[in-house]
A and B are shown apart, each in its own frame.
Chain A
Amino acid sequence: MEISNIWYFLSALTLLSALMVIMSKNPIHSVLYLVFTFFCISAHYVLLNAQFLMAVNIIVYAGAIMVLFLFVIMMFDLKKNIPESKSSLTKLAGSVVAGTLLVILIAIVRKNNIPAPLGDKFNSQTGMVENLGQVLYGEFLLPFELVSILFFVAMVGAVLLGKREAGERNF
C-alpha cells in the first residue's frame, strides 16, 4: 500500500470524526468522538515518525484533558442546559465566517511553498524522545523553566475557580 493512500484515509477519518464531535446531540458522544479524533491525530504523528508526540498526545489529550471534559459534562444538568437553536441569520453569518477562514487558509498554504525535507539531510529519528530531550533541555531551557511557573499559576487559578458557593446542592 502506498503511504499517501494511508495518509488520505487517515485524514478523511480524522475530519469525519471531528465533524461528528460537533454534530452529535449528546455531549458524551461528542467526547468519545473527540477521543477518537485524538487517536487519528496520534496516527498522523506515527506517520511523521514523531513517536514521543504520539504518546504524549494520547496521554495528555485523550487521557487527561478529555477526562476533565467528561467530569465537566457530568457536572452539568444536561436537561437544563440545552442551548436554544440559533436563528437563521446567526447560522448564515457563521457559515460566511467559516467559509472565509477556509479560503484564507487554503490561500496561505498555496502561496507559501513549504520546502520538502532534503533527502540527504533528513534524519528519520528526529522525533524520538532522546533527540527531543536534548533540544528541550539545552536550547529551550528557559521556556521550559517558565512553563513550571505557568503551571503554578494554573494551580492557583484552579483553586480559586473551585471555591464552593453557599447553598449548592450536589453529591
Chain B
Amino acid sequence: MELITTVFIAKAIIVGVVFAITLGVAAYSTYFERKIAAFMQDRIGPDRAGPFGILQPLADAVKMFMKEDFIPANSNKWLFIAGPCLSMLTALMTSAVVPFGDSVTIGGATFDLQGIDVNIGILWVFGIVSLGVYGIMIGGWASNNKFALLGAIRAASQNISYELAMGMAIITILMITGSLSTKEIVEVQQNGHWNIFYQPLGFIIFIICAFAECNRTPFDLPECETELIGGYHTEYSSMKLGFYLFAEYINMFISGAVMATLYFGGYDYPGVDFVTQQFGSNVASFVGVGALIGKSLGFVFVFMWVRWTIPRFRYDQLMNLGWTGLIPLAMYNVVVTGFGILVGKPFMVSIAGLVLLIAALFVYDQLLVKKKIA
C-alpha cells in the first residue's frame, strides 16, 4: 500500500507537470503561429507586448476575458456553454498516455516519466479523440444558427471520416511492435530503429489525418470564413471562443507528441549511450524529455508551415480524399507491412511497396490524362 501511494503521488506530479507544459506550449503556439505567419509573409508580426511581443499570449488572454460573454436569445443555453467545455476537456485528457521520457531514479525509487502506462495506451488516445466530435457538434447545434449547424455537421463528418484512416494507419505500428502500450512502442524504436523508416506510407496517412482531426488548414473547412461565416463557432465570443481556438492548439501539440511517439522514436535521440555514460541515466532521461518535446514542437511548426503553403480543400474533395483515398491506401499498407514482416525484410518490402504504389499512381495518372485528352 505504501508503494502504491508513493507511485501514485509521483504519477500525479508527472500528470500535473505535463498538464502545465501542455497549456504553456499551447499558449505560446498562438504567439509563434503569428510570428511564423509574419515571417512567411515578410512582416514583423506582434511586437508591442513586451520585448519581441513575447507577452502577446497574456494580452490575448486578458482581452478574451474582458470581452462580453454573449449567449444568443434563441440558443440552448446550457448546451451552448457545454460545447466549448467538452472541446477543451477532450483536448486536455489525451496527454496522460504519452511517454515523455525513460525512467528516472530518485531516492532509490524508479519512476517512468509517463502519466499512465496501460495495456491499451494508444487506444486511449483514439477513444478521447473520437469524443472530440461532441464539443463541436453540440456547440454548433446549440447556437441555433444555420451556419453554425452546417459548420458543425461538416466538422463532425470530417472528423469521423479521417478517424477511420487514422485507426488503420496505426495498425501497421501495432504489427511491428506487438503491443498497444505506448511505452513498448517507444522502446522497440530505441537506438535509431524509428518506425518512420519502416512505415513511410503509414506516417504520411497519419499526418494527413492529424491535420484533419485538428481542423487545421488545408482541412479547416468547418470554419471556412468565405462560406460559413465562422463555422461552428459563429455565435461564440469571449473565452468560449477562446476555448475552441485553444483546444486546437493543444490538439496540435498532443498530436505532434503522438506522432513523435509512434513514428519518430519518442524520447529516443542520437547519443543516448554517450549521455548515459557521461552524466548518468537520470540526465539522459531528462534530455530524452527535451527530445520528445522538441520533436512535438517540430510538428507544431510543420502544422503552421503548411497553413501558409497549401490552399483549402473543397468539401467533396476532402471527403473523397478521406474515404476513397486514405482508407484503401491504409489497407494496402497493412497488407504490404504484413508481407514484409512475415518474409523477414520489413524495410525492403515497405520501400518496395511505396515505389510500387507511386509507379501505379503514375501509370494511372498517365492513362487518365490520355483518356481526358482523347
- Whether a CB of chain A sits under 8 angstroms from the CB of B229 is no
Tell me the residues in window 55-78 of chain A with beta carbons closer than 8 Å to chain B beta carbons: 55-56, 58-59, 62-64, 67, 70-71, 74
Cα(A62)–Cα(B179), bound, Å: 24
Question: Which B residues are CB-close (under 8 A) to A130?
Answer: 178-179
Cα(A157)–Cα(B130), bound, Å: 25
Contact of B119 among A51, A63, A71 (CB under 8 A): A51
- Whether a CB of chain A sits under 8 angstroms from the CB of B330 is no
Question: Which A residues are CB-close (under 8 A) to B178?
Answer: 130
Contact of A59 among B76, B130, B146 (CB under 8 A): B130
Q: Is the CB of A54 within 8 A of B120?
A: yes
Distance from B29 Cβ to chain A, minimum over Cβ atoms (Å): 26
Cα(A59)–Cα(B131), bound, Å: 8
Contact with A along B178-196 (1 / 0, CB 8 A): 1110000000000000000
Cα(A151)–Cα(B149), bound, Å: 31
Contact of B123 among A59, A64, A67 (CB under 8 A): A59
Question: Which A residues are CB-close (under 8 A) to B138?
Answer: 28, 32, 70
Q: How many residues of A contact B (CB 8 A)?
A: 23
Q: How many residues of B contact A (CB 8 A)?
A: 29
Contact of A62 among B119, B120, B127 (CB under 8 A): B127
Tell me the residues in window 128-152 of chain B with beta carbons closer than 8 Å to chain A beta carbons: 128, 130-131, 133-134, 137-138, 141-142, 146, 149-150
Tell me the residues in window 30-53 of chain A with beta carbons closer than 8 Å to chain B beta carbons: 32, 35, 51-52
Of chain A, the residue at the smallest CB distance from B157 is: A71
Q: Is the CB of B130 within 8 A of A51?
A: no
Question: Which A residues are CB-close (under 8 A) to B163?
Answer: 63
Tell me the residues in window 83-135 of chain B with beta carbons closer than 8 Å to chain A beta carbons: 118-120, 123-124, 126-128, 130-131, 133-134
Question: Which A residues are CB-close (under 8 A) to B137?
Answer: 67, 70, 74
Q: Is the CB of A67 within 8 A of B133?
A: yes
Q: Is the CB of A52 within 8 A of B126?
A: no
Cα(A171)–Cα(B157), bound, Å: 14
- Whether a CB of chain A sits under 8 angstroms from the CB of B153 is yes
Q: Is the CB of B133 within 8 A of A59?
A: no
Q: Is the CB of A52 within 8 A of B127?
A: no
Of chain A, the residue at the smallest CB distance from B180 is: A129
Question: Which A residues are CB-close (under 8 A) to B120?
Answer: 51-52, 54-55, 129
Cα(A62)–Cα(B123), bound, Å: 13
- B: which residues have CB within 8 A of A? 76, 79, 82, 118-120, 123-124, 126-128, 130-131, 133-134, 137-138, 141-142, 146, 149-150, 153, 156, 160, 163, 178-180
- A: which residues have CB within 8 A of B? 26, 28-29, 32, 35, 51-52, 54-56, 58-59, 62-64, 67, 70-71, 74, 128-130, 171
